[in-house]
Chain A
Amino acid sequence: MKHLEEYRRALADPLAYARNLKQETGKAVIGYTCSYAPEEVIMAAGAHPLRLFGTKKQIHLSDSHLQSYCCSVVRGILEEGLSRRADVLDGVIFPHTCDSMQRLSDMWRMNIPFGFHLDVTLPVKLDTESAKEYMIDVLKKFRDDISRKLNVEISDDALQKAVSTTNAIRQSIRTIYDLRSQYPHLLPGDDLYNIVRASMIMDRDQLAGMLAETVAELRELAIGAGPATEKRVLLAGGMCNQPDVYALIERAGGEIVWDDFCTGARYFDGQIDAGTDPMTGIAERLLKRVVCPAKHIDLDGRARHILQLAKDKKAAGVIFLLLKFCDPHAFDYPYLKEYLDEAGIPLMLVEIDDTLPAGGQMQTRFEAFLEMLEKEKP
């Protein structure tokens, strides 16, 4: 398949990709830290949105700002700023999510000399009328703020165009997930990982075209493809910075048929109604999409969502990747387990720091878990 290598390359060094893109197109590069960032507004400002995942390399500068009990994502993002490895960024925006990200925003503003800094103080509660209005207000304020920072007008037309691009991207990735869920052999898991993450890194206009081609190729391949015999697994948790997990699970005899990551399926969940006022449309998608546990829609929507996913995707089990020191997900885990237990769906918890446990240990654990899963009955 022709674009897989490009996705892979973009992901291998997102900052180098951004540097190149900036050189070629002159686009300002705007970093963001969370899937609630309104990418469309950045795009409509003629800038390039780049999600920051944090580095795992050479973490030493952030140790003088963050205690040992801070997650590796926050630590890694700060490191990229302090080391100036991320100095391609013309600005960084910080949507409000968890306590650690909240303090990362402060530290970035106080310590990073390059680029501008913007907070997007989104509501935490998403289920009331006043929260909805506040969400729209905050997004409008962000539109004003970033147009001032970049010194450009952001027209409704540009917003509409950005919305149709991101809608197309989301639709394509969803289709890729769907096809792969049906025929897991079509695409190795780590390529799926690369695609969804590359979509937060690569130029969105270019990406929309590439993804459409990838979809077409996969559709072609799907004709005549046989059903998979591996055990079907759903991944859940926060964000996954571990591409190796996919290969390990596949080697252990499993197929990852869907996920609930903010760097995965939660990123492309929901479409923006381009017919309405674009800012309201963007807000409505953020209010309705599958929720991050740092936000609140209801008391058990997330568990119901994961259960439904497991049923729809015929997953025999769920593997929950818990990033060490990620409080919102750690608080959710026991009740998710309770719901899954009740439904008879096995759940495996894997706590991940910045790196996976060494050697074959992880693979052995995955094998043991997959062993006990029932195969889907054809």
Chain B
Amino acid sequence: MTDIKQENENIPVNYEKLMREIMTIYYIDAKTARQNNKKVAWITSGGPVEPLIAMDIIPVYPENYGAMIGASKMGVDLCKKAEEMGYSSDLCSYARGDISCATVNGGPIGGLPKPDMLVCCNNICGTVLKWYEIQARYFKVPLFIFDTPIVHTEFTPEMKNYVQRQMIEYVQFLENATGRKMDWDRMKDVGKLSVEGQQLWQEVLDTTISRPSPMTAFDAFFFLALIVTLRGTSQTIDFYRGLRDEMRRRVSVGQGAIPHERYRLLWDNLPIWYRLKWLSKEFAKHDACLVADTYTSAWCGSLKYVDENDFIGSAAESYTRIYLNIGVDKMAEIVLSMIDKYGADGIVLHSNRSCKPYSFGQYDIQKIVERERGIPSLIIEADMCDERSFSEAQTQTRIDAFMEMIRTAKGGS
């Protein structure tokens, strides 16, 4: 994702390199946890990680690992292996990749460290429930299910009560798993750090409001890893503060992420991990910058429900009302507001075979966007990790046609 950036020799810090270093150290810590008498919890990407951080349990994200599998183009082999194990090729490719990877010595970074416990929050999908049941049977470790009812239209008092009670049960689960008590003062601090991290991540993403945009959604897909995995740590805050300042600096000197930004696009759904570079080039060729996306913003989208002074108390609402755990019409509203906020000229929707709750409803969102904002949209049929569901030639043709529509709509040549 660096290829299409403008030349700039004066950047004091290389944030991509820095993030790779942070993630490397994080994975080394996780893989040596046992030697250091630390516990490892596998947790879903939308799950409440803060209690783990507060209790010194190392969170590990199979979904982040799924992204690594996809980006390193190991998806097809690992998915095939899962299919040999009896899993249908129609199932989520993150799940297939992780399930098969757990049984082999291989995959990126030589596999994930084994979990001491599993924490599954179903605010992102029902797939994680099945996936974590499978891993709980495989690793024979305790599983906590954090059940966040979908907020189709309203967040009811019944839901709030249920999720809030689970927050307490969750902490008790962790206390049982570690044999230690929660330090509630520490929890409070971690909660504050988490909120600050999310605010900074939002500020990073918001730098793309500027024209030209200092970064693309492809950069955001890359920089996302920290807010997912190390939310609630001061390291994350330092990193995103630096990154935000760097992006603001680029804005101040008019440095855009692509050479000639003429069109601004919004991306919907997970990235197509094995074609990030290719896609970013294809769009840049048309002077189109993907300035924002619904995916990376999901990790700061429910900030409005968080009370930083009562993180645990407000977590019921903030963790339940995340982007994917709401009705399609609510998702469409958010898409419309992002189109306005970032000044998008078109929307690109990745119809992702792996993610039914994210993808079903996209056609309706597309119609709403076309009706309410009259901007062109493009649907790319693909899969986030399984390259067998992607056709480069077909996608290229469709991108070209879509960009032609955008050009016409914008009255350009």
Q: Which residue of A lies closest to B157 (CB)?
A: A137
Bound Cα distance from A130 to B316, whole angstroms = 14
Bound Cα distance from A100 to B357, whole angstroms = 7
B313 at the interface (CB under 8 A from A): no
Given the known A-B contacts A106-B152, A294-B126, are A67 and B327 also in contact in the complex, defined by CB atoms under 8 Å?
no
Bound Cα distance from A325 to B362, whole angstroms = 18
Cβ contact within 8 Å between B126 and A98: yes
Q: Which of A293, A299, A325, A331 contacts B87 (CB 8 A)?
A: A331
- B147 neighbours in A (Cβ, 8 Å): 123-125, 131
Stretch of B56-64, B127-135, B242-250, B254-262 that contacts chain A: B127-135
Within 8 A of A (CB), among B320-347: 327-329
- B353 neighbours in A (Cβ, 8 Å): 67, 69
Cβ contact within 8 Å between B357 and A330: no
1/0 per residue B153-193: CB within 8 Å of A? Answer: 10010110110011001000000000000000000000000
Stretch of A149-157, A161-169, A184-192, A332-340 that contacts chain B: A332-340
Cβ contact within 8 Å between A128 and B169: yes
In the assembled complex, the CB of B44 is this many whole angstroms from the nearest CB of chain A, namely 13
1/0 per residue A279-308: CB within 8 Å of B? Answer: 000000000000001101001100000000
- B86 neighbours in A (Cβ, 8 Å): 333-334, 337
Given the known A-B contacts A296-B145, A334-B85, are A123 and B162 also in contact in the complex, defined by CB atoms under 8 Å?
yes
Bound Cα distance from A327 to B363, whole angstroms = 21
In the assembled complex, the CB of B275 is this many whole angstroms from the nearest CB of chain A, namely 19
- A137 neighbours in B (Cβ, 8 Å): 158, 161-162
Bound Cα distance from A2 to B304, whole angstroms = 63
Q: Which of B90, B166, B361 contacts A330 (CB 8 A)?
A: B90
Q: Which of B134, B166, B362, B381 contacts A331 (CB 8 A)?
A: B134
Cβ contact within 8 Å between A103 and B149: no
Q: Which of B150, B158, B359 contacts A138 (CB 8 A)?
A: B158
Cβ contact within 8 Å between B356 and A99: yes
Cβ contact within 8 Å between B158 and A102: no
Given the known A-B contacts A67-B351, A110-B364, are A134 and B161 also in contact in the complex, defined by CB atoms under 8 Å?
yes
Cβ contact within 8 Å between A324 and B360: no
Bound Cα distance from A67 to B380, whole angstroms = 12
- B328 neighbours in A (Cβ, 8 Å): 103, 106-107, 110
Cβ contact within 8 Å between B357 and A99: yes
1/0 per residue A217-247: CB within 8 Å of B? Answer: 0000000000000000000000000000000
Cβ contact within 8 Å between B134 and A99: no
Cβ contact within 8 Å between B130 and A327: yes
- B143 neighbours in A (Cβ, 8 Å): 299
Cβ contact within 8 Å between B130 and A331: yes
Cβ contact within 8 Å between B126 and A99: yes
Cβ contact within 8 Å between A102 and B169: no
Bound Cα distance from A300 to B158, whole angstroms = 29
In the assembled complex, the CB of A64 is this many whole angstroms from the nearest CB of chain B, namely 6
In the assembled complex, the CB of B165 is this many whole angstroms from the nearest CB of chain A, namely 4
Q: Which of A66, A123, A141 contacts B363 (CB 8 A)?
A: A66
Q: Which residue of A lies closest to B324 (CB)?
A: A99
- B153 neighbours in A (Cβ, 8 Å): 109, 119
Q: Which residue of B lies closest to A325 (CB)?
A: B90
Bound Cα distance from A299 to B166, whole angstroms = 19
Given the known A-B contacts A103-B356, A296-B133, are A65 and B149 also in contact in the complex, defined by CB atoms under 8 Å?
no
1/0 per residue B67-108: CB within 8 Å of A? Answer: 000000000000000000111101110010000000000000
Q: Which residue of B lies closest to A135 (CB)?
A: B162
Cβ contact within 8 Å between A103 and B145: no
Bound Cα distance from A351 to B88, whole angstroms = 10
Cβ contact within 8 Å between A121 and B361: no
Chain B residues within 8 Å of A, Cβ to Cβ: 85-88, 90-92, 95, 122, 125-127, 129-131, 133-134, 136-137, 143, 145, 147, 149-150, 152-153, 156, 158-159, 161-162, 165-166, 169, 327-329, 351, 353, 356-357, 359-364, 381
- Given A121-B152, A334-B87, 5 extra CB contacts under 8 A: A99-B360, A109-B329, A327-B91, A327-B92, A327-B356
Return 24 A-B CB contacts under 8 Å, by A number.
A70-B360, A98-B126, A99-B356, A103-B328, A103-B356, A110-B328, A110-B329, A111-B364, A119-B150, A123-B162, A133-B165, A134-B149, A134-B158, A134-B161, A137-B162, A138-B158, A322-B88, A327-B126, A327-B130, A328-B126, A333-B86, A334-B86, A335-B137, A351-B88
